[in-house]
Amino acid sequence: MKIFNSKAQKQLRKTLRNDMPKAEIVLWSQINNKQLKDCKFRRQCSIGKFVVDFYAPQYKLAIEIDGDSHFETDEVENYDQNRQKFIESLGIKILRFTNNDIYESLDHVLEVIEASIQNLPQPLAFPRRG
């Protein structure tokens, strides 16, 4: 089984990218194109049967933006906990922020992400071909 970006979830990932909530759009505008510590993030990356909002494969760092729906029921909370356990079992660190964190403290959110990148193991450098 393919762990990352399986073909079975391609349409779901595309739909999620085309219908990103405002908080995700705001954060994406700050982290795309290697704007933060020259780190490459992907949007709506699938990991197993789950899709994370943003993922930096070279650092094994996932970022989740939790909207109000993440706090509505115990069922959603249990789903999020099981999802997080699975993703972390692959050695992936998950940073979680709320929509309000993005809207009210974007600079702090970016500082937390940047500090996490600095504290994670550095990616392996591979020689370029050609």
**Does 125 map to a domain?**
no
Overall number of domains in the chain: 1
pLDDT of residue 53: 95
In angstroms, the CA 43 to CA 63 distance is 10
pLDDT of residue 1: 58
**Does 82 map to a domain?**
yes
pLDDT in tens, 47-73: 998 999 999 999 999 999 987 655 566
The closest of 107, 110, 90 to 41, measured between CA atoms, is: 110
How many CB atoms are closer than 10 A to CB 54?
21
**Does 66 map to a domain?**
yes
Is 14's pLDDT higher than 90? Answer: no
pLDDT in tens, 63-121: 999 876 555 666 788 888 899 999 999 999 999 999 999 999 999 999 999 999 998 87
Helix axes 22-31, 106-119, angle to 10 degrees: 50
Helical H segments across 1-130, by residue range:
10-18, 22-31, 74-89, 99-104, 106-119
For the entire predicted model, the pTM comes to 0.83
Q: Write out the two tokens for 12.
A: 């779901």
**Does 19 map to a domain?**
yes
Strands 50-56 and 42-47: antiparallel
- The SS3 of residue 48 is coil
**Does 129 map to a domain?**
no
**Does 49 map to a domain?**
yes
**Does 126 map to a domain?**
no
- Of 2-6, 9-13, 91-95, 122-126, the poorest mean pLDDT is in 122-126
**Does 76 map to a domain?**
yes
13 lies in which domain range? 7-119
Query: At 45, which CATH number?
Result: 3.40.960.10
